[in-house]
Structure 1
Amino acid sequence: MAAPYPGAMDTRPAGLVLARTPRLFGIEPFYMELLGGIEGALAEVDRAVMLQVVPDSAAEIATYRRWAADRAVAAVVVVNLVADDPRIGLLRELGLPAAALAPASVRLPVARVTVDGASAMREAVRELVALGHRRIARVSGPRALVHTRERDEAFAQACAEAGVDHVVAVADYTEEAGAEAAAELLVRDPRPTAVVFDNDVMAVAGARVAKERGLDVPGDVSVLAWDDSALCRLASPPLSAMSFDVDALGRLVGAVVLELLEHGEAADRAAVEHRFLARGSTGPAPA
């Protein structure tokens, strides 16, 4: 294993690699807000973040190898974990200190900032059930992601415990996939009376599809977005959301990175939980 990078006088940036299309990165607010939070924490000690957007996981691995060879970054932030994620072992092999954004249920040999998506999903289902919904759908992100599976399991369990019907459509966070999934769900018989979308972009697209099909939001179908953003607030009607302070999450990640670089290790930190924020897109289930 390569020797760890010295941290005390090291002013190199932290590195963040996102394996996704540049177009999606440009329209999805989550990662811009996360990046802003990390940058805000690091800027307090005159550090920065180096962002690399790549098309796939192979290019992400190649980026880490190049960064290690060039000593381009002092530490790496890992997001979008998959099962048995190969990046964790690789970064340890390369001697790159790493902080991972991870579900609370996942144990890792690197410092973590945890997000309890399972509890948030159970809260989302409870809120919709309290509004009288008995047929609830979910439009998820890619199934390969650990946090998607965590939310899937929590959604199924919460719906089963409440005795309500549920269905999941798999998408990829894009507007097109969100619209396609919504169109598929809204022609089901019986039709879901509420749909939980895994991000704001898909939720806006889904609400548009519902209205194009002559359905009232929320009179015929309630729409709930995951995370909150300006997209949710500017939609018509404004979208209810499982609201989450993404900037604060980024600052926690930045704090873990700084602790790693100063001490060689860092304590895990837990993000503040999501909360249900009611706006105009959720209401009582139709009779």
Structure 2
Amino acid sequence: MSHQGASIGLVIRQGHDRDPVAGAVVRAIAGPLVAAGKRFVTRSVADEDAELRVYRLWARTGGVAGVILLEVSRDDPRPALLRQIDMPFVALAPSTLPVDFPAVVVDRAASSVALAAYLDGYPAERRVSVTGTAPAEPFGDELGPDDTVTEVVRTDDVVGTCLRIGAGADGSGRTVLVVDGDHDAVAVLTGLREAGIRVPEDVALICRSDSLVCQSASLPITAIDRRGREIGAVLGEAAVRAVDDAVLPAVAMPAPVVVPRETT
């Protein structure tokens, strides 16, 4: 059965909309939906219970023919609920999770693999991955090979910690700083340069999530392209097929790549 003109919904947890990879995914979803004549409906909610209430409301009121789940986890209640209310869906799923529903599969450790390969050929005396203490965003990394060749520092003050590490670089060898977020990366870059620390000669800087923020910094920042645009486009196409009752096997995404720029 075709649902020409029907809406496809996406619920985003508050806070996750600040993830640059999630932002790229969401923006890219719309293209395939519009091309198929479907509308794209988004809702922002505070927590899991609120998200489940939105799905029940959509099923009860009609108009939304299917939904996209940004990421599922083990014991996730959403797939079971969507099946119970007869709502077609497609999910973004980590490669470590067995799935029996339409899914686009992403290896969450793959960006760490790409970073490890890049660092393996990059001369440095010290490599430090500075990350927050809060739970990972939906598109956050799982630990990967780079975590065996870098120090991992968890802190509530990512920028301040990076600047203290950078200030300790004594010229005996380059220090590489790896940060998760694009805005943190720009703040670190600004602080290093204001302190007279040479980038990348004394301290190199890499961001785990590429974005326009990284690309347009005072020095364009080396970053990992985690394929957000490609993931979003495939999710949109998969949602159209799921709503139109097409057979949809699990789809694996291409691996992330490090994009070298002026901070390395």
TM range (shorter): 0.7 to 0.9
**Partner deviation per Cα, 1:177-218 (whole Å, 9 max, x = no partner):** 6xx213124435977922222332332233234334443322
Distance (Å, rounded) in 2 between the aligned partners of 1:19 and 1:87: 13
1:17 CA drift (Å): 0.7
- TM-score scaled by structure 2? 0.84
Distance (Å, rounded) in 2 between the aligned partners of 1:214 and 1:253: 45
Q: Does 1:258 align with 2:240?
A: yes
What is the RMSD computed on CA atoms of the aligned residues? 2.8
Distance (Å, rounded) in 1 between the aligned partners of 2:234 and 2:184: 27
1:147 CA drift (Å): 5.1
Q: Does 1:169 align with 2:159?
A: no
Specify the alignment match of 1:225 in structure 2.
207
Matching residue's letter, 1:12: A
Q: Secondary structure at the match of 1:187?
A: helix
1:53 CA drift (Å): 1.4
**Partner deviation per Cα, 1:205-246 (whole Å, 9 max, x = no partner):** 332343344433222322212332211111021011112442
1:86 CA drift (Å): 2.3
Q: Secondary structure at the match of 1:153?
A: coil
CA contact (8 A) 1:65 1:94 kept: yes
Matching residue's letter, 1:184: T
1:274 to 253, 256, 261: 256
Structure 1: which 4+ aligned runs deviate by more than 4 Å? 144-147, 188-192
CA contact (8 A) 2:73 2:97 kept: no
Going from structure 1 to structure 2, the CA distance change for 1:159 and 1:30 (only over 3 Å counts) comes to closer
Q: How does 1:137-148 map to 2 (within 5 A)?
A: 137-139=129-131, 142-143=134-135, 148=140
Query: How many residues are matched?
Result: 258
Q: Does 1:187 align with 2:164?
A: yes
Specify the alignment match of 1:86 in structure 2.
77
Going from structure 1 to structure 2, the CA distance change for 1:71 and 1:200 (only over 3 Å counts) comes to same
The percentage of counterpart residues that share the same residue type is: 26
Distance (Å, rounded) in 2 between the aligned partners of 1:237 and 1:101: 33
CA contact (8 A) 2:206 2:222 kept: yes
CA contact (8 A) 1:141 1:198 kept: no
CA contact (8 A) 1:169 1:185 kept: no
Unaligned runs of 5+ in 1: 1-6, 171-176, 283-287
Distance (Å, rounded) in 1 between the aligned partners of 2:241 and 2:229: 19
1:140 CA drift (Å): 5.3
Distance (Å, rounded) in 2 between the aligned partners of 1:243 and 1:52: 26
Greater RCO, CA 8 A, separation 6+? 2
CA contact (8 A) 1:139 1:169 kept: yes
Task: Report the structure, 1 or 2, having the larger helix content.
Answer: 1
Specify the alignment match of 1:104 in structure 2.
95
Specify the alignment match of 2:218 in structure 1.
236
